Structure 1
Amino acid sequence: MQTSSLYDMTIIGAGPIGLYTAFYSGLRSMKTKVIDAEPGVGGKIRYFYPEKLIHDIGGIAEISGAELVQNFKRQAETFQPKFVLGNRVVGLTNLHDGTFVLTTENGEQHFSKTVVIACGNGTYKVAPLEADHAEKHKPAIHYHLSDIEKFRGKKVVVSGGGDAAIDAAFTLNQTAAQVDLIYRGESFKGYEERAKELMDSEITVHLHHEITALNEENDLEKITVCCKTSNQQKQLDCEALFISHGVEVDFSFATNWGLQTEEWGIAVDELMQTNIPGVYACGDTACYPRKIRIIAAGLHEAAIAVNSAKQHLEPGAAPEAMVSTHHEHFM
């Protein structure tokens, strides 16, 4: 197994809250590492909402998901934390001297004095398209929108019935030559007003349909869809697919590591402390009474978690970081 040096804090999760935790840890002069299972930072926003506008962050009237992630990344890099991406943490153990050992799925071990879990709802896997010849056309099948320019001038089919599928259809309609949306149900699961807006738009909607096959040729040109009520099949022109069939979330690591959990997260106290001393949680994964699951609340929790960890390591340390306008790095 490979080993690495000892860090003051290791953050599991590189979404917005994990990134802000890394920044605030730097404000507290802590040697910091961030580990995430995904190949890039940004969490769910990077995958599912890069083009969607976000409106509920104080002082920012609106910002796209992609731009917000870039801002968080730039801020997190201020104090040069170590990033380990594309590597899932599968084990957390505590040595006799209080050091935590985080083992990743490739066998690496990471050593840390404290740990902050900021991995949202856990690790997730998108539900793949199950249709004939899908394996042959992997490059044309997309599960997140990282660059809508890839779809410019193309005939695109979106499959799904939730908010993510509806948002994707509207986003793709900005650059694609044609957008069809297919959903096997009779009514959308997304917000009612948004669904009504979709039905009134130029996007062609096919309810009660599902994709059964892609053409056998090397380049994707057509797909076959089947009506769930009549069992009749028809073909649609298609050069690219966006699939939004849901995600499979895995939160089992929490109980496997001995953490106390509630129905939808890791139980923490007012210090963001879990039942394991030296291990903290913040963001969507932290669970406590009157929890508000928005980014603004998660940022507050991140600061509390870092301050708590700092005093755990240094009981005489100040209870909070110096404000940035007084910090030597920004003078």
Structure 2
Amino acid sequence: MRDVYDVTIVGGGPAGLYSAFYSGLRNMKTKLIESQKELGGKVLLFQEKMIWDVGGQPPILGSQFVKQIISQAKTFDPTIITNTKVDFIEKDDTNLFIITTNDGVKHYSKSIIMAVGGGIINPQKLEIDGAEKYEMSNLHYTIPSLKPFQQKRVLISGGGNGAIDWAVELLDIAEEVIVAYRKDQFSAHEAQTARILADSKAKVLFNTSIERLIPNKEKTLIQQAVLKQDGKEESLLQPVDHIIVCHGYNRDASLGFAENINLSLKDNYYYEGTSKGHTSQEGIYAAGDILSFDGKVNLLVGAFQDAVNAVNSAKKYIEPTAESIGIVSSHNEKFKKQNKQIIRQILVEQK
């Protein structure tokens, strides 16, 4: 017998995770499919960055924010599948969606919310033979913790926002920050660029790229980077404790199925839709970065509103007599038991 869900959410970033919470709030049987091994989406790339712009939320590390939104998403026990990629979506003659994943499994759903964000994000790797050997030691494409960089000499390759933001973060942590960029000026925000250029702990090398990596005797760590500056190879750094590569990202949003289900795209990538989360295909809704509409808020906070609207639209689609919006949490009976437990705990702590 087929296990049919009210809604299947494709994508486990903030928009997808909040959609999972809100669909549970609306009594919908929910499944979430995420292509990566971990939930959290793009925030996983910036786990040591502080997030300030979520309403009512004190400044919070990206890593802690991810933990909290995952916990929230699991409030109503949705089915969550990770490390699984959606390959194909079709609709049968009963208007049921059949979602086929890369493992050959078919998933059945009355509605779908696309929350794939920037797609499957993979950092552009350093194109040097043997570089992959050091990805588990001191060659980095993401930074889950700043602790390993304390009082170390750190080489950052890149000159965009990602590279310069990390350089600024490390100024008060590392012994020295060296930024090597292949062009003659940074493409990052002016304020961050000015900080790096003015700080004595930062060494900036323009028209420079990494050409070779020289390991230690055990060949377990990079000990030295051989750089090419203005077309000349020169050993500029010895030793190098860590290298951070910020060359941008390759993205695969798995949009191959968009044509099959007649989803209209903007700029050959984003789903054209409405502020209510509608796409060009009835029964398929979208939330977060992947959705484009007039008045779109392209910030983390916008993902929450997108998620609510997409869930409400999906609810009305599968149950036309349902209310257009869910009951607010302060009056919602679904939280009655949890509220009592939380209030009891607060009273204990106040004694």
Relative to the length of structure 1, the TM-score reads 0.92
Aligned: 1:226 with 2:228:
yes
Q: Secondary structure at the match of 2:316?
A: helix
Q: Give the equivalent residue in structure 1 for 2:188.
A: 190
Correspondence for 1:91:
88
Amino acid at match of 1:275: S
Distance 1:193 1:4 in 2: 56
Gaps of 5+ in 1: none
Larger deviation: 24-33 or 55-64?
Answer: 55-64
Decide which moves more: 145-154 or 27-36: 145-154
Deviation at 1:106, TM superposition (A): 2.4
Gap runs ≥5 in structure 2: 337-351
Q: 2:215·2:223 contact (CA, 8 Å) conserved in 1?
A: no
Deviation at 1:30, TM superposition (A): 0.8
Structure 1 range deviating more: 147-156 or 81-90: 147-156
Paired AA for residue 287 in structure 1: S
How many Å separate the matches in 1 of 2:184 and 2:75? 49
Q: 278-287 or 3-12: which moved more?
A: 3-12
Structure 1 residues 317 and 142: CA distance shift in structure 2, 3 A: same
DSSP 3-state at the match of 2:289: helix
Task: Give the letter aligned to residue 234 of structure 1.
Answer: S
Mapping 1:74-223, distance limit 5 Å: 74-139=71-136, 140-201=138-199, 202-217=201-216, 218=219, 219-223=221-225
Give the C-alpha shift of residue 244 in structure 1: 0.7
Match for residue 67 of structure 2 among 49, 66, 70? 70
Q: Measure how far apart 1:55 and its partner are.
A: 2.5
Query: Does the C-alpha gap of structure 1 residues 32 and 94 become closer, same or farther in structure 2, counting only changes over 3 Å?
Result: same
Q: Equivalent residue of 1:223, what SS?
A: strand
Cα RMSD (Å): 2.0
Which residue number corresponds to residue 341 of structure 2? none
Kindly provide the amino acid, as one letter, of the partner of residue 226 in structure 1: K
Structure 1 distance, partners of 2:260, 2:159, is 34
Query: Matched residues, percent identical?
Result: 33
Partner deviation per Cα, 1:64-120 (whole Å, 9 max, x = no partner): 222222221121111111211112212111122222121222222222111000111
Q: Secondary structure at the match of 2:294?
A: coil
Equivalent position of 1:53 in the other structure: 50
* Structure 1 stretch displaced more, 244-253 or 194-203: 244-253
Q: What residue in structure 1 maps to residue 343 of structure 2?
A: none
Instruction: Call closer, same or farther: CA 1:284–1:209 in 2, change over 3 Å.
Output: same
2:318 corresponds in structure 1 to 313
Contact 1:51 1:171 in 2 (8 A): no
Please state how far the C-alpha of 1:154 moved relative to its aligned partner: 3.6
